[in-house]
A = this chain, B = another copy of it.
């Protein structure tokens, strides 16, 4: 049985519930007799190689509960993607501090880092348990029914499109909302759950899993405007053309040629602007608005799924329990067991590491511009309780009398 220090770190983009996983790891680890103390690395693996550790044994459980309810990575995060040498430096720091349990909360890059570190540790005969705690708003980890962080981000997207649809009904026009998602369209697809009444938007949902064609997009917008006098579109930032080229990148080249030189596109409104301009120019629609959801969808404070909160907490706690009770490294995955219930399982690191999950075909409509009821059934329970609802006035029309013929 391993004995020594625990180190916990967070990697990649923050989520609304990543600190629940952190609290789960810390509070559970502090209970174990095998653990001498619990360290946290600041800013992920960058903080490990730089020995930027804080002693989480010197933290009240009360504050850990409050930090758990606070979105974004409380330990700080990093975008560093380490090579072998970097991983060896990580291991060197772990050894120097007698770290025997390493919990890394992140997406598929983070699990890949863990896999390499674990392998190097074995090669150098340093006993250490490497555990991956899943998180990503993109929902793109394989073997997981869904990943902690996704349900809360999805809830934000639903509530945003619920409002965008009401706003668009009130002041009709074309609205385009660009949602995060480079390869996996789950988060954009979530917008479909904003629909309540049959004519509600989003009327068109475009995800990276389906080829995006401008002509198809424009035809869809035209058809919707002809029918409802308005149109709400949800589109992933990562939608690609037939050749697999991101549509947003196509504009980047244009902008480069046209004016400014190096234009950074990620986190900019380029795709929203490109699509808005297409609608204005090709369809002649005057009232077109494009919103890029930006960082809000992952960091907005006060929009969280209680299901997500609970599960994020549990994957952290379970990771520690697997580490203490078992003798294997691994990644904790979420499995759906009913309507709706879930449980956790430990899988080998290399089963998850570096792999990307995308939306399965049964979630995608055949017309390439919507999701299916199977996806609705999948997502709805994850959004949690107290979802807002939208109501309308009854349309009891009053007879027009102004231009009535005199003896009509």
Interface residues of A (CB under 8 A from B): 10, 13-14, 39-40, 43, 51, 53-56, 58-59, 63-64, 66-67, 69-79, 92-93, 96-97, 159-160, 162-164, 166-167, 169-171, 175, 260, 263-264, 266-270, 272-273, 276-277, 280, 288-296, 298-303, 388-398, 400-402
A299 to B171, CA, bound (A): 12
CB < 8 Å neighbour of A289 from B169, B266, B290: B266
CB < 8 Å neighbour of A72 from B40, B73, B163: B163
Instruction: Given A63-B394, A401-B51, verify A301-B166 contact (CB < 8 Å).
Output: yes
CB–CB B302/A401 < 8 A:
no
| Cβ of A50 to closest chain B Cβ, rounded Å | 8
CB < 8 Å neighbour of A392 from B74, B93, B263, B298: B74
Assuming A51-B400, A97-B398, what are 16 further A-B pairs, CB within 8 angstroms?
A14-B166, A14-B167, A55-B397, A67-B393, A71-B166, A75-B393, A97-B401, A159-B301, A164-B296, A167-B299, A175-B295, A264-B280, A267-B290, A296-B296, A302-B388, A303-B303
CB–CB A395/B170 < 8 A:
no
CB–CB A53/B160 < 8 A:
no
CB–CB A13/B76 < 8 A:
no
Task: Name the residue on B nearest A263 (C-beta).
Answer: B277
Instruction: Given A163-B299, A273-B268, verify A402-B290 contact (CB < 8 Å).
Output: no
Residues of B within 8 A of A40 (CB): 393
CB–CB A66/B295 < 8 A:
no
What are 19 inter-chain pairs, A to B, with CB distance below 8 A?
A13-B171, A51-B398, A51-B400, A54-B395, A58-B396, A66-B391, A72-B169, A74-B393, A79-B171, A159-B300, A163-B299, A164-B299, A264-B280, A267-B291, A269-B269, A289-B295, A291-B294, A302-B388, A303-B303
CB < 8 Å neighbour of A268 from B63, B66, B290: B290
CB < 8 Å neighbour of A70 from B59, B73, B295, B391: B391
A269 to B252, CA, bound (A): 14
Task: Name the residue on B nearest A291 (C-beta).
Answer: B294
Copies of this protein, total:
2
A335 to B318, CA, bound (A): 54
Residues of B within 8 A of A264 (CB): 276, 280, 288
| Cβ of A64 to closest chain B Cβ, rounded Å | 8
A283 to B69, CA, bound (A): 35
Residues of B within 8 A of A71 (CB): 163, 166
A171 to B327, CA, bound (A): 34
Residues of B within 8 A of A299 (CB): 163-164, 166-167
Residues of B within 8 A of A392 (CB): 67, 70, 74
A40 to B393, CA, bound (A): 10
A293 to B10, CA, bound (A): 27
A39 to B399, CA, bound (A): 11
CB–CB A51/B396 < 8 A:
no
Instruction: From A58, A79, A272, A393, name the one whose CB has the most chain B CB atoms within 10 angstroms.
Output: A393
CB–CB B291/A295 < 8 A:
yes
CB–CB A273/B269 < 8 A:
yes
